[in-house]
Amino acid sequence: MSITVENISKNFSGFQALDDVNLSFPEGQLTALLGPSGSGKTTLLRIIAGLESSDAGRILFGDEDVSHQHVRDRNVGFVFQHYALFKHMTVKENIAFGLESLPRRQRPPKQEIRQRVEKLLEMIQLPDLANRYPTQLSGGQKQRVALARALATKPRILLLDEPFGALDAKVRKDLRRWLRALHDEFHFTSIFVTHDQEEALELSDQVVVMSQGQVEQVNEPAALYARPESRFVFDFLGHVNVLEGSLKNQKLTQGDAWVSLPSVQGDREAQLYMRPHEVQLARSPSAHARLPLRIESVSLIGSEVRIELQPEGWHSNELWEVGMSHNEFARQAPARGDLWYAVPDIGHLFTDAGSQPRTVDWHYPTTATAHP
């Protein structure tokens, strides 16, 4: 069942939580609503579920307008951030609750409910804990029970509000993988809210980036990371190195630093954004860029060596960050305090506020184009 969100707005006594949001969630896909706190992502999820009403707009499940349907009748599965398990019921009773709440005519017989609960307990790999109470479970176990409870009534749609937010890193990773596997098996249409970019990119088929009650960008994870369409998305998704300067004669200059931009016309202020993997380090400046930087710190842990650098003779709000393979690191042996030069391979040029960036590729300079 696909979900369509049309012109949804919501105002909480003066605070515009959602501002004319339009989205469509394709059937059978796992979509992430990603954004900082206060971006309206949880409000949108709650409006889709029917736990909150919108001031304007429509929600459609398939072709059916459910805007005025009570949450009780929408048949959605909802997983709460803090699990919201019923403290006074056992795991078994928690999972059976939805089935037992069905009107008498639709309610399956007791025997069938018991079987379905057993099957769900196996699915969440907790068959031995059927008679435990929620307080006797770990965080990860609670979240799995919450998921089984949400799936018991075979909902058309599964909504998850920061499902892994309250768990520690290791459990979170396991549960994430498990949820993805579960989704691939059952193919319900799911939406989950998160503020964790890594989680959103790793888990979802589609990511919706939100900021201040509006949709910033909708894309597949890989495309979103490679081609952010706004400064916000750039800043929000991973680290970015920025050269802010004035553009003149196809050259962006600030202090001692400059980058040549062969295909860019016009003289104005501009910012060049580069991901850590789009930049390399060299002992001397290259023909197309001179970006002197002094090494501030070197972090060896991980599959790549992460080097943080301080601009030398020019200015950047944040430290620059460049990745280097361990092999390369052993050969070059960069040390703290050394002066190096950044050599960009690909950059993204923003000229005026709100506009989309132009991607510049110095290896294939002729392909420098704006995004479609």
Partner 1 sequence: MAAKHHRVGDQPWVRRLLIGVTLAITLVMLVIPVIVIFYQALSAGLGAFSENVMDEFTLHAIGLTLFVALLTVPLNLVFGTALAWAVTRFRFPGRKLLITLIDIPFAVSPVVAGLLYLLLYGRNGWVGSWLGEYDIQLMFSWPGIVMVTVFVTCPFVARELIPLMQQQGSEEEEAGVVLGASGWRIFRKITLPNIKWALIYGVILTNARAVGEFGAVSVVSGNVRGQTNTLPLHVELLYQDYNIVGAFASASLLAGIAILTLIAKAFVEWRQSRPEHPAPEKGGV
Positions that interact with partner 1 (CB under 8 A)? 49-51, 71-73, 75-78, 80, 82, 84-89, 97-98, 101-102, 128-129, 132-136, 149-150, 153
**Strands laid side by side in the 15-25 sheet:** 15-25, 3-12, 56-61, 64-65
Pick 99 or 247: Cβ nearer partner 1: 99
Q: Taking the C-alpha atoms of 96, 102, 107 and 112 in order, what is their torsion angle to the nearest 10 degrees?
A: -10
User: In terms of CB distance, is 157 or 349 closer to partner 1?
Assistant: 157
- 34 vs 76, beta carbon nearer partner 1: 76
Check if the beta carbon of residue 148 is closer than 8 Å to that of residue 95: yes
CB 240 within 8 Å of CB 275: yes
The residue among 13 and 284 lying less far from partner 1, judged by its C-beta, is: 13
Least distance in Å: CB of 84 to partner 1? 4
Place of tokens 């030069």: 341
Nearest approach in angstroms of CB 45 to partner 1 is 12
Q: To the nearest whole angstrom, how small is the minimum distance from the Cβ of residue 53 to partner 1?
A: 13
d(CA 305, CA 303): 7
Q: Provide the minimum distance between the beta carbon of 132 and partner 1 in the complex, in angstroms, as a whole number.
A: 7
State the Cα angle at 308 between 353 and 331, rounded to 5°: 130
How many residues would you count in the chain? Answer: 372
Spatial contact of 265 and 284, defined as CB atoms under 8 Å apart: no
Q: Quick one: 161 or 199, whose CB is closer to partner 1?
A: 161
Closest separation in Å from C-beta 151 to partner 1? 11
